[in-house]
């Protein structure tokens, strides 16, 4: 059973702080990793993808991947109230490219 685990949350941070979201996965052959943001009542929106070990930065978002530890994280710098949402970690093993999702963690950014 391929699993993707996220901290149960919720996570609350003050505006301007760094929010750190973590995810572990069980399948060592996983090839690509994604973070989706889902606002309440909306569908998931892709915000970051990462394929190789290390950091990938896009604006206020940084994804970090460590395949040896089977760990992927998302850092949100200068958190804004508009970042308040559920963040879903997703992993693709490459077999048919279906994504296995974690249950998500709800982030609340306090003004």
Partner 1 sequence: GAGVSQSPSNKVTEKGKDVELRCDPISGHTALYWYRQSLGQGLEFLIYFQGNSAPDKSGLPSDRFSAERTGGSVSTLTIQRTQQEDSAVYLCASSPNPNSGTQYFGPGTRLLVL
Cβ-based nearer residue to partner 1, 44 or 79: 44
Taking the C-alpha atoms of residue 72 and residue 61, their distance in angstroms, rounded to an integer, is: 13
Q: Which of 15, 45, 58, 78 binds partner 1 (CB under 8 A)?
A: 45
Contact region with partner 1 (CB under 8 A), list: 17-25, 42-50, 60-68, 71-79: 42-50
- Residue 1 near partner 1 by CB under 8 A: no
Task: Report in angstroms the alpha-carbon separations of 103 from 14, 38, 60.
Answer: 23, 12, 23
DSSP label at 53? S
- Residue 78 near partner 1 by CB under 8 A: no
Q: Which residues contact partner 1 (rule: CB under 8 A)? A: 31-32, 34, 36, 42-46, 49, 88, 90, 92, 94-104
């Amino acid at each position: 059973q391929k699993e993707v685990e996220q901290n149960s949350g919720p996570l609350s941070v003050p505006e301007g702080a760094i929010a750190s979201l973590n995810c572990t996965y069980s399948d060592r052959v996983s090839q690509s990793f994604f973070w989706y943001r889902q606002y309440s009542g909306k569908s998931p929106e892709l915000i970051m993808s990462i394929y190789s070990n290390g950091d990938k930065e896009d604006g206020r978002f940084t994804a970090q991947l460590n395949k040896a530890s089977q760990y992927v994280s998302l850092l949100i710098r200068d958190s804004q109230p508009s970042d308040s949402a559920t963040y879903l970690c997703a992993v693709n093993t490459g077999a048919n490219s279906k994504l296995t999702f974690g249950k998500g963690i709800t982030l609340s950014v306090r003004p």
